[in-house]
A = this chain, B = another copy of it.
Amino acid sequence: MITKEQVLYALGHVEEPDLKKDLVTLHMIQNIEILPNKLKFDVVLTTPACPLKGHIEHACRNAIGLFISKDIEVDINMTSRVVSTESAQLEGIKNIILVSSGKGGVGKSTVASNLALALAETGAKTGLLDADIYGPSLPIMFGLEGSRPESIQTPQGKTKILPIEKFGLKLLSIGFFTDPNQPIPWRGPMATSAIKQLFGDAHWGELDYLVVDMPPGTGDIHITVAQSYPISGAVIVTTPQHVALADAIKGIGMYQMEGINIPILGIVENMSYFTPAELPDNKYYIFGKDGGRRLSESNQVPFLGEIPLVKSIADAGDNGFPILLDADEAVAEAYKEIAGRVAQEVSILASKVV
């Protein structure tokens, strides 16, 4: 009969590639059960979005085969418990991820929504907060125009806003509280207090990730959010255009400022190339090639991925905002990879906190 110690010895040779430590040291091996000719255990990853899931499972099987026996049946339950980058969390929210862009028009809201959807699809409890006070787009993108969130009373007698649930996400938008035909100029203090309500007066419940669609540019709102809440990091969205890249650098600089110090999880390049649905193998680098990648290299921040523009003649006139569920396969794949990389970066940061 093999022992629990033998199992831990064997799995102590499997390294988590991102965190650069073995699974045993990382307390990722749990619930070891030893049955006759069968071995069961859980591998508790730091995120269900982990792109290395298959790789780690394979390495565990190899280690058991090498150090114990090739003849034993191994039943591995790959599971996850998202870790927080912050010791002091906002209510039950483990990680707050800001999605930012240096300028408008680069598809920041589309990226934020699809990132949230891709994270939720892996099984992570995910929320999306549309904090873009200048042009909230969540209501349109999720077909929730005119919706108003309900309120609930907490046991402590506080009134809290209840996020709307759709497509597996908890959703709140500044747009739920404003009339789209009567744009109120949300000047500094007003906007700031509105944002504070969406963060603090909402009943988000337990969340692994809260993705926040920030206003474009840099300003008061960014400073307030960065200084008031435990933020895991920021994703910067850009297009390959020169002007967009120049503004993205400003965005990176703002988060890296002293007194702000928000880690940059990485850069997403949107509209990287155009692929006509009618010519699916052709990539037209309309706005230049590899601008986002070069930006990440010169600023020493991760490059999270590129998202193509894919359209067919039929839907090309459509003004709607595509969300992952409808998206082209290549686009959906790009978002899944980006979500995996974002979750990885958060896990790496969280491992440094412990």
Contact = CB atoms under 8 A, between A and B. Distances in A.
B273 A276 contact: no
Interface stretch (A53-61, A251-259, A309-317): A309-317
A154 to B, nearest CB: 38
A247 B216 CA distance: 13
Interface stretch (A91-99, A116-124, A278-286, A339-347): A278-286
A101 to B, nearest CB: 10
Interface in A236-267: 239, 241-244, 246-247
Interface residues of A, number: 31
A247 B316 CA distance: 23
Contact of A282 (B103, B273, B313): B313
A135 interface: yes
A288 interface: yes
Q: Which 7 A-B pairs have the closest CB atoms?
A: A105-B243, A104-B243, A284-B316, A289-B317, A285-B316, A288-B319, A285-B317
Interface in A289-319: 289, 309, 311-313, 316-317, 319
Taken together, the copies of this chain in the complex come to: 2
A286 B316 contact: yes
A103 B216 CA distance: 13
Interface string A307-334: 0010111001101000000000000000
A244 B241 CA distance: 15
A242 B141 CA distance: 14
A9 interface: no
A229 interface: no
A41 interface: no
Interface string A71-115: 000000000000000000000000000000001110000000000
A311 B286 contact: yes
A274 interface: yes
Nearest to A289: B317
Contacts of A241: 105
A161 to B, nearest CB: 27
Contacts of A274: 274, 284, 286
A290 to B, nearest CB: 9
Contacts of A104: 103, 243, 247
A100 B114 CA distance: 34
Nearest to A244: B105
A313 B283 CA distance: 7
Given A103-B105, A105-B241, A276-B284, 15 more contacts: A103-B103, A103-B104, A104-B243, A216-B243, A273-B316, A276-B276, A279-B279, A283-B313, A283-B316, A284-B313, A285-B316, A285-B317, A286-B309, A286-B311, A288-B319
